[in-house]
Structure formats: C-alpha cells, structure tokens
Amino acid sequence: MEELPTSKAVKGVPVTVTDFIEAGAERLGLRLLAGASRAGKVIREPVVNRCGLALTGFFENFAASRVQIVGNAEAAYLRSLSELEREKRFRALARRRAWLFVFTAGRVPGDRLLRLAEEIGAVVLATDVPTRIFGRIATFILETLAAPRTSLYGTMVEVGGLGVLFEGDPGLGKSETALGLIKRGASLVADDLTCIRKDVASNLLFGSASEATAGYMEIRGIGILDVAGVFGVNAIRGEKRLGLVITFRKLDEIRGEVDRIGQTRRTRKILGVDVPNIIIPVSEGRDLVNLVETAAQQQKLVAAGYDPVAVLSARLKRRAVKPHSEKIRKGRTHGR
C-alpha cells in the first residue's frame, strides 16, 4: 500500500488557535476577545486544563502549555481579589508560559484584564457553554485535530460492520468490488484515496474520505457516481474504524506465495498500528465481491477469538489418534 509522505503521520498535526476556534464553531461558539495577532500560534499541548490552583499561586505540576479553562470557580475566586491582585496572578501565569485562556459559562473578563492579556502576549477566548460540557467537547475536538494521520491509495468500505480497506495496482477492480458490496448492503467510506486518523488513546485507526471526494466513486465506463444519490444515504459512512486490509494481487505474480489454509496471520503497519492483512489473488472469473464479504466475516470471527485453522487442526489430530487407539485396543483383545 502506498502511503503518501507526510510528517503528520509521526508527530501528529499542529493545532493553532484558529484551528480550534473553527473546529468548535458550531458546538462551542468560541469568541476571540484578545490576542488576535497570535491566533496562528500552535497549541503545544492540545489538552484542556483547569487553572484554579495556579491562580492561587500553587504552580507544582502546572501544565502551562495547555488550554487554560477559567470556569465559574476560577471566576468567583478572581472576583474576590482586587484588580491589582488579579493582574499579579495572571502575570505569574504568563511568566510560566501559560498564554491561552478560555472563559466558560458566559463569563467575560473586564477591559482591564483584556488589555493586560494583550500586554503579556496572551490569547483570551470566551464561550457560553458550561464548563463541564466545554471540557468534554473541547477535549474531543483537540484530540481529533491533533491526531496523527496519513493518506493511503485505496478504497475503504464498511462490510457487515467491519471497516475494510482494499489496496492494489490500478485496474484490479477495487472500485468495482466496492460497488458490488454496496449493492449488497455495504457502505462506502472512501474511494481511491483514504484518509487515516489514529486515535492515540485507544491505538485504533479510523478511515474517512477527503472532503472533496466524500460520497463519490469513479467507475470505469460509467464515470463519477454519487453513491448516496443512487443507493441512498445508508450507502455511505463518514468515518469507520479500520479492521482489515485486503491486498489485491494478480494471480500470475504471486503463484505459490498465497497461504492456502490461512495459517499465517499477516499484518499491515499503519501509523504504528498493526492491522490484519490478507492477500486475495485476482484472475479472470473470480468473484471478488463474494470473497471480500467472506473475508470480512471471517475476520470478525478471528477478532472474537475463534480460529478456524486451530479448530480444524485439533479435529484432525483427534481423528488421527482415535484409529490408532482402536488398533491398540483390538490388538490387546486378540492377544487374549
């Protein structure tokens, strides 16, 4: 599988304040109150942090590089201080390199504090979303934005609940196979180019289409196909966990290389994650749709802990031992 070269696959994606504001526009409604000239600055640790203890002057284990939340508790504490003391507390945070603050639950700092933010190089945002809800949504948005990602040449389909990615040379029938699966109830995730995102917390991979091509396929002889328009909205998926990679290879190229009984468990490493991988030989007359559908069902069994090769091997061993035992028993009977 050809992986498009990108540093994002190793280090993740740099997230700026502008990225955060735009990604959370609908659910968070963030407003930029101070530091507009620094909106392009990268958030070194795209994680949220309650800065309550730091406001009191306790800085041990203070995560200054994170997004600092100023919620109801912090706002109440700041109101108990004089304006001069409030400025001192924020200057102390700035000296420890805290620079991005979000006032939640409709709280808005006064003009004097906003002027101070411009002076010390801080960025101040505000939202009407309650603190608890903001923390949950912001964490999800930041993790998604910063996740390591890459793009792969291949077509991805959800088959029976399993995310399956096809790879192989052009002309081997990847899109046509996906189309056949969709007509049998599968759903298209991406055609030709699949974007892969890694969830760092769970070490799982998720595939999706690029924004430009989502929901469309290119079929030789037909042209561009609007999948939802032809088959309905259930025939497309925005994002799906990747559970299997199927490699299409010409039979003449791999004759003798294919494991006929499936005893060898192959994997494909993507963004540091091992994904189950099988090779399906392509030749004239082979029903790739049926083969892929069966491979997906087989992989679901294997993932659930059922190994058909091991079960069959154990059965054959039992059958081999049984005639031998009967022969010994009969020999002893005749000896009497």
Domains and CATH numbers, the chain: 12-146 (3.40.1390.20), 149-305 (3.40.50.300)
DSSP conformational letter for 38: G
Which residues make Cβ contacts (< 8 Å) with residue 34, sequence separation at least 6? Answer: 114, 117, 118, 122, 123, 124
The predicted pLDDT at position 275 comes to 96
| Backbone phi and psi for residue 96, each to the nearest 5 degrees, phi listed first | -95, 15
Token duo for residue 297: 């069902």
The predicted pLDDT at position 24 comes to 93
The predicted pLDDT at position 7 comes to 41
Nearest to 142 by CA among 230, 16, 240: 16
The predicted pLDDT at position 94 comes to 95
The predicted pLDDT at position 255 comes to 66
The predicted pLDDT at position 221 comes to 87
The predicted pLDDT at position 5 comes to 45
The predicted pLDDT at position 198 comes to 94
Alpha-carbon distance of 167 to 156, in angstroms, equals 9
Cβ atoms of 51 and 68 closer than 8 Å: yes
Task: Look up the pTM and report it.
Answer: 0.75
Helix (H, G, I), strand (E, B) or coil at 238: coil
pLDDT < 50 positions in the chain: 5-10
The predicted pLDDT at position 6 comes to 47
Which residues make Cβ contacts (< 8 Å) with residue 298, sequence separation at least 6? Answer: 262, 308
Cβ atoms of 18 and 285 closer than 8 Å: no
- Order across the sheet with 123-126: list the strands: 31-34, 123-126, 100-103, 67-70, 48-50
The predicted pLDDT at position 3 comes to 54
Side-chain-side CA neighbours of 108 within 13 Å: the count stands at 10
